[in-house]
Amino acid sequence: MSTRFEDAIAAIDAANADDPFTVTYAVDGVEVTRPKELAHSELMCEWVKTLDPDADDAQLLAARAHHLRRWAYPRTEQPEGRAGYLKWRTEARKRHATLVGEILSGVGYGVDGDDTIERVQALVSKQGLGKGGLAAVDGRSPAVQVHEDSLCLVFLQTQFVPVATQLGDEKMIDVLVRTVPKMGPRGQAAALALDLDPHCASLVAAALERLGAEA
C-alpha cells in the first residue's frame, strides 16, 4: 500500500477515535469495548478484504470512512418518522463524503487524473445500490455490493444483540427480513457462518423462513 493510503487510514482513524459512543464485541472469543465508529470502520475494512481479496485503495478507504464521525450529526437533527429519517440519512452520507474527500485531498489523492476521491465518495454514498443484491460481473461482486455486504456483516457482528434486546424478537426479525435481501451471495454466506449465540441464530432462521415463504 502507498504512503498516502496509510496516511489516509491514520487520518480517518484519528477522526473517529473520539467517538463518545462505544461498542462491545468479541475478538477471538474475548469481549472488547472500543469507540463505536473506530471499531466499525476497522471491521468494515476486514470484511471488504475477506469478501473481495482484490479490493483496491478506494474500496478500503470507503469502508474505513463509511460512517465517518457520524455521531457529530445525530438522528435527532431531523424530525421523527420515515421522512425525517430519510432526510437525515441523505444528509449524513453527504457529510461523510465531504469529510473523507477533504482527508483524501489532504494526503495527496485526487491529482493528475486520479479518481480515487470520487470513487470513495460514490461508495460512501452507496451510489448504484438497489433494494436487492447486485449480480456479479465476471465472477466478482460490484464494489458497492461488497461495501453493503460488509456493512450488514458488521451490524450483525456488533449490534445484533443490543438491537434485538431493544426491539424484541418480532421487530428484530423484521429488521433481518429487510437486511438479508440487500446482501449478495457471498455476504449472505458469510452472515450464515457468523458465530452467533443460539437465540440470535434462531432469529436469523425465522427471518430466512419468512423470506422463503414470501418468495
> What gap in Å lies between CA 168 and CA 174, rounded to an integer?
10
Locate the domains of the chain by residue range: 3-214
Residue 165, CB half-sphere, CA atoms under 13 Å: how many? 5
Residue written as cell 476497522?
A: 42
pLDDT of amino acid 47:
97
pLDDT of amino acid 28:
79
The pTM of this model reads: 0.88
pLDDT of amino acid 63:
97
Segments of the chain scoring below 50 in pLDDT: none
H/E element, 116: helix 116-124
pLDDT of amino acid 130:
64
pLDDT of amino acid 139:
56
Strand 30-35 versus strand 22-27 pairing type:
antiparallel
Contacts of 59 (CB under 8 A, 6+ apart): 48, 52, 123, 143, 146, 147
pLDDT of amino acid 133:
61
pLDDT of amino acid 136:
63
Instruction: Output the CA–CA distances (angstroms, integers) from residue 190 to 40, 61, 79, 166, 177, in the order listed.
Output: 17, 21, 35, 25, 16
H/E element, 26: strand 22-27
> What gap in Å lies between CA 31 and CA 114, rounded to an integer?
41
